Amino acid sequence: MSTLLDVRNLVTRFYTQDGVVKAVNGVSFTVNKGETVALVGESGCGKSVTALSILRLIAQPPGKVISGEALLDGTNLLKLSTEEIRKIRGAHISMIFQEPMSSLNPVLTIGRQMTEQLELHRNMGHEEALTEAINLLKLVGIPQADRRLKDYPHHFSGGMRQRVMIAMAISCKPQLVIADEPTTAVDVTIQSQLLELIRGITDEMGMSLILITHNLGVVARYARRVYVMYAGMVVEHGVALEVYHHPFHPYTSGLLASVPRLDEPRKSRLAPIEGQPPDMMCPPEGCSFQPRCRYALPKCITDKPGLLEIAPGHFSACWVASSREMPWQKT
Amino acid sequence: MAEDLVIEINNLTKYFPITSGLFFQKKVAEVRAVDGVSFAIHRGETLGLVGESGCGKTTIGKCILQLYRATSGEVIFEGKNLCELTENQLRPLRRKLQVIFQDPYDSLNPRFTAADIIGEPLQINSDIRGRDFDARIAELLDIVGLSPYMADRYPHEFSGGQRQRLGVARALALQPEFIVCDEPLSALDVSIQAQIINLLDDLQDKFGIAYLFISHDLSVVRHISDRVGVMYLGKMMELAQRDEIYKSPLHPYTQALLSAVPIPDPAVEAKRSVIVLKGEVPSPINPPSGCVFHPRCPKAFDACPKVVPLLEDAGSGHRVACLLYKTSWP
């Protein structure tokens, strides 16, 4: 498999009145062609900001991508001019946002919003674009697609709106789709409809998919590889199966232990991670998970651990794990 | 067991009118939010209520607390039907019925300190004042795992999980017998959710409080509940003991809901098949005829659009509203 997207050492900060928010602190990850990769972590861990930085969608000010590279087939997206990045967005990389109601334009019809990018990126005439839009809506399972083109976003239900977003995201046959919490705003039964749809379409068209989510179950169901993020950094990554069965980072292990599982006997008590994520204006000096970590060593307070390949293809940023000792795997 | 009942709900129905016209408001239709639901909750028990948004689970919670007045039906608490009482008659009972809301950001007054928030119910409903008052606040903060020195802080100085702890402390202030927990975890992160679940568990063991736990997260509901009710479009579809409902779900809707929950283990997921339901939840203004679930049901047969299934015992207290399990036909 060849690499499609290679992100190296991405650093993004927000300069606010209260101080500098260090949202992303040196994130690196790769996405291969046709592969589904998940970025998983809790709110504020920097997973969405990472995606927005790659697409250069960070509002500046207050935000700024300080350093790093995002290579799409060898082209550094962070160095492109505004004109050039516009040609990439939608055409090569597209995005499905969390809240379809706030990411669709409420005063334009669905037809207008869908044809805009077809005319722009695929040089279609208006009639041709309308026909293509109908085909796309049919593909994502919207009934009576030809009639619904004249409808406005508020005419659609939440699940249907997200289907429109999916149709728009794939309309220019991008190489990479980024889905940022695509199912957080919808119900469980709609969630499985939408995720099955996204998986079906990206598989069929050979697109790569970055799935950004906080739901460990969704990752297990859909992603091949997973990057676990905490406090603006990747703390562990590898093949999902390995990461779930043999977590090399106490945070991953803690997360997995804190969610009740339907397939296991009910535990009398859950094992939460005590404390809370750090304030990103002044993250801890050493390992950012150390204040909540049961296994912390003196070294963890002073030195920041880097990602280390502990088993083939399975990386962890943890001083305890770097000694090949995983006390959390025993319990 | 009857003397152990904390709250009993009989045939509870809540319709919201839809009106049109500017001056002479005319009722043109109604939203059937809750349609003939009955259940009872025992002392120290947790009843989990699951279902998708719009199925009426929050409305039931609000009807029990008389924040909404039910269209018809009864809510029996301490031998009285709350639906028939006036506001003044309700006031002494309200202290025993409390609520924890979904969003700890919206449900705390930003201009109140933590002590004001927790102390407000005490100010209104008790005569604890002065030094005892401060001691009670400190005690409550301690019970929910916050430090007494935080009493003078404002909500924005707390994290999401800590704010939800404040919400819990406020609900506990008057030593209630029953708490409606309306999606108390959905605004919290996974690692924080487990902290609040354990807190609610501990408080129940300590004080014997009964919970109505409203949630859309089936894994959390299994963890916390003793019995579970599944709702769809204002109706109770299935109601049974926790292990019973999770091990052998009877209603096709419950089966689909359970299969839609992804399990955080790639090896398990690779072998699992998902029942993907077609379509979406229909409008409660004009619900389908017969069984309200029949347009989406993978097992629907010819009787389903015609006959309304009742919630009936399918053996050992496992109640289900589905014609597949109907034994006697008229």
pLDDT at site B228:
95
Closest CB to A269: pick one of B53, B198, B266: B198
The shortest C-alpha distance from B207 to chain A (Å) reads: 18
Both A44 and A149 in a single domain? yes
Q: Do B263 and A261 touch (CB under 8 A)?
A: yes
For residue B262 the two structure tokens come to 């992804």
Report the C-alpha gap between A131 and B172 in whole angstroms: 60
Q: Which helix (H) or strand (E) holds B254?
A: helix B252-260
Report the C-alpha gap between A296 and A276 in whole angstroms: 16
Both A126 and A25 in a single domain? yes
pLDDT at site B2:
52
**Residue B156: pLDDT above 60?**
yes
Task: Give yes or no for a contact between A287 and A296, defined as CB atoms under 8 angstroms apart.
Answer: yes
Q: Any residues with CB less than 8 A from the CB of A116 and at least 6 apart, and which?
A: none
Q: From chain B, pick out residues whose CB is under 8 angstroms from the CB of A263.
A: 263, 265, 268
The secondary structure of A303-324, three-state, reads: CCCCCEEEECCEEECCHHHHCC
**Residue A28: pLDDT above 80?**
yes
Both A214 and A239 in a single domain? no
Both A212 and A86 in a single domain? yes
Both A293 and A185 in a single domain? no
Domain that holds residue A99: 3-223
Q: What angle do CA B200, B206, B211 make, to 5 degrees?
A: 45
pTM assigned to the model: 0.86
> At which of A223, A245, A274 does a domain end?
A223
The domain made up of B2-96+176-325 is a member of CATH 3.40.50.2000: no
Report the C-alpha gap between A226 and B225 in whole angstroms: 32
3-state secondary structure of A178: strand
- State CA B323 to chain mean position distance: 26
The pLDDT tens digits of the residues spanning B73-106 come to 999 998 899 999 999 999 889 889 999 988 888 8
Q: Do B266 and A271 touch (CB under 8 A)?
A: no
Length of chain B in residues, anyone? Answer: 330
3-state secondary structure of A44: coil
Q: How confident is the model at residue B201 (pLDDT cuts 50, 70, 90)?
A: very high
> What's the mean pLDDT in B166-188?
90
The pLDDT tens digits of the residues spanning A9-24 come to 999 999 988 888 999 9
Both A218 and A256 in a single domain? no
The pLDDT tens digits of the residues spanning B239-264 come to 999 999 999 999 999 999 999 888 99
Q: CA neighbours within 13 Å on the CB side: how many for A314?
A: 19
Q: Do B189 and A277 touch (CB under 8 A)?
A: yes
pLDDT mean across residues, chain B: 90
Q: What is the CATH number of the domain that holds A201?
A: 3.40.50.300
> At which of A163, A188, A223 does a domain end?
A223
The pLDDT tens digits of the residues spanning A123-140 come to 889 999 999 999 999 999
Q: Do B260 and A191 touch (CB under 8 A)?
A: yes
Q: Name residue, tokens 């912390």.
A: A296
Q: Is the peptide bond before A62 cis (omega within 30 degrees of 0)?
A: yes
Instruction: Report the percent of chain B where pLDDT is more than 90.
Output: 61
Q: Do A240 and B194 touch (CB under 8 A)?
A: no
Q: How confident is the model at residue A283 (pLDDT cuts 50, 70, 90)?
A: confident
Closest CB to A261: pick one of B258, B260, B264: B264
Interface of B with A (CB under 8 A): 52-53, 159, 161-162, 189-195, 197-198, 201, 216, 218-220, 222-223, 242-243, 246, 256-258, 260-269, 274, 276-277, 280-281
pLDDT at site B1:
47
Q: How confident is the model at residue A330 (pLDDT cuts 50, 70, 90)?
A: low
- Residue A282's nearest CA partner among A10, A19, A16, A12 is A19
Tell me A89's DSSP state: B
Q: Do A272 and B277 touch (CB under 8 A)?
A: no
Number of domains chain A contains = 2
The pLDDT tens digits of the residues spanning B25-76 come to 788 888 899 999 999 999 999 999 998 888 888 999 999 999 999 999 999 9
Both A91 and A234 in a single domain? no
By C-alpha distance, the chain B residue nearest A268 is: B223
For residue A142 the two structure tokens come to 């919207």
**Residue A303: pLDDT above 50?**
yes
The shortest C-alpha distance from B164 to chain A (Å) reads: 13
3-state secondary structure of A217: helix
> At which of A169, A193, A223 does a domain end?
A223
Q: Do A192 and B223 touch (CB under 8 A)?
A: no
The shortest C-alpha distance from B24 to chain A (Å) reads: 28
Q: What angle do CA B38, B40, B41 make, to 5 degrees?
A: 145
The pLDDT tens digits of the residues spanning A44-74 come to 888 999 999 999 998 888 889 999 999 999 8
A residues 250-269 near B, CB within 8 Å? 254-256, 258-263, 266-267, 269
Q: From chain B, pick out residues whose CB is under 8 angstroms from the CB of A250.
A: none
> What's the mean pLDDT in B187-201?
87
Mutate to test the interface with A, among B164, B227, B258, B265 (most CBs of A within 10 A): B265
Both A183 and A256 in a single domain? no
**Residue B232: pLDDT above 90?**
yes
pLDDT at site B187:
79
Both A219 and A234 in a single domain? no
Where are the domains positioned within chain B?
A: 2-96+176-325, 112-175
Q: CA neighbours within 13 Å on the CB side: how many for B157?
A: 11
Q: From chain B, pick out residues whose CB is under 8 angstroms from the CB of A241.
A: 266-267
The pLDDT tens digits of the residues spanning B275-317 come to 888 888 888 888 999 999 999 999 999 999 999 999 999 888 8
